Amino acid sequence: ERIIGIMGAMPEEIDGAISLLNNPQRAVIGMRSYTTGTINGIKTVVVFSRWGKVAASATAATLIHIYKITELIFTGVAGAIDPTLKIGDIVIAKRLIQHDLDARPLMGRFEIPLLGITYLECNTQQLDNARKAITPLIVNNILRDTIGENVLSEFGIVNPNLHIGDIASGDQFFSSELQKQQLNEALPTVVCVEMEGAAVAQVCYEHKIPFTVIRTISDTADEKSHIDFPIFIEKISSRYSVAIIEQL
């Protein structure tokens, strides 16, 4: 039986996801509120992950052990590293890496101890499903029609794009051009940065649970990020996540 776990990095996103559940039932475990129900007849559990790698890992482990999820979807926001990414664009992770993991000289920089791998790769089937589900949001303007052109344009969002690329996660909020440059030099394929995805991906990898990480760009991970990020979160990120979850 399919049981989908949906984790969001913002409480507002989770409220939006809960509104899509039939027969919602709530339980609190370890300072997190898990809501179970069905979406299109499929058992689904939604939870706010809290922020950072530890918080997200603990939540993913609970979804796997207590709720017996068979697949995990993470939605949230990210800061853009690749200059071609704009606020309002959507990124689906191809691979995830922990940019703050460094056990040199015992092993290579970014290598996950004992797993012997550096990147966590998304299963191609999951990636393809997510891409097919999200493409109409952009191509058929579903995002524009559900959020409203006027709301999007307030944020300078005109034609949001969908990207598939590498995402870096770490316990740091990026708020300077220097941080951004250093990440880009160390990991040139990374398109955006956030604080949970690669941690959740590692837990899923260890339990053989297929995962998808979907991020909307809220800021450009530089000196403007502490202004852009909270505005984006407050005003539109939950509308993005509801529109995304409805498509999946």
Q: Which stretch binds ligand ADE (CB under 6 A): 67-75, 106-114, 187-195, 199-207?
A: 187-195
Task: Considering the complex, state which of residue 72 and residue 198 has its C-beta at the smaller distance from ligand ADE.
Answer: 198
Q: Which of residues 47-86 bind ligand ADE (CB under 6 A)?
A: 77-79
Give the shortest CB-103-to-ligand ADE separation in angstroms. 22
Task: Tell me: does residue 97 bind ligand ADE (CB under 6 A).
Answer: no
Contact 211, 130 (CB under 8 A): no
Residue 74 and residue 213: Cα distance in Å, rounded?
A: 5
Q: What are phi and psi of 112, to 5 degrees?
A: -80, 120
Q: Which of residues 192-231 bind ligand ADE (CB under 6 A)?
A: 193-195, 218-219, 221, 225, 229
Give the shortest CB-18-to-ligand ADE separation in angstroms. 22
Give the shortest CB-206-to-ligand ADE separation in angstroms. 23
Contact 97, 197 (CB under 8 A): no
Task: Tell me: does residue 166 bind ligand ADE (CB under 6 A).
Answer: no
Give the shortest CB-179-to-ligand ADE separation in angstroms. 8
Task: Tell me: does residue 101 bind ligand ADE (CB under 6 A).
Answer: no
# residues contacting ligand ADE (CB under 6 A) = 13
Task: Tell me: does residue 237 bind ligand ADE (CB under 6 A).
Answer: no
Give the shortest CB-170-to-ligand ADE separation in angstroms. 8
Amino acid 5 reads G
Q: Which residues are CB-contacts of 194 (< 8 A; sequence separation ≥ 6)? A: 9, 76, 77, 78, 79, 167, 168, 169, 215
Report the interface residues with ligand ADE, using CB under 6 A.
77-79, 173-174, 193-195, 218-219, 221, 225, 229
